[in-house]
Amino acid sequence: MERYERLGKVGEGSYGVVFKCRNRDTGQIVAIKKFLESEEDPLIRKIALREVRMLKVGGCGSHEGLPGGDGAGGAGKGQSEGTE
> Could you tell me which residues are annotated as the binding site for ATP?
34
CA atoms of 16 and 51, how far apart (whole Å): 12
| Structural contact between residues 62 and 45, judged by C-beta atoms closer than 8 angstroms | no
Give the annotated binding-site residues: 34
Q: Report the candidate in 10, 26, 41 with the shortest Cα–Cα distance to residue 49.
A: 41
Q: What are phi and psi of 63, to 5 degrees?
A: -65, 135
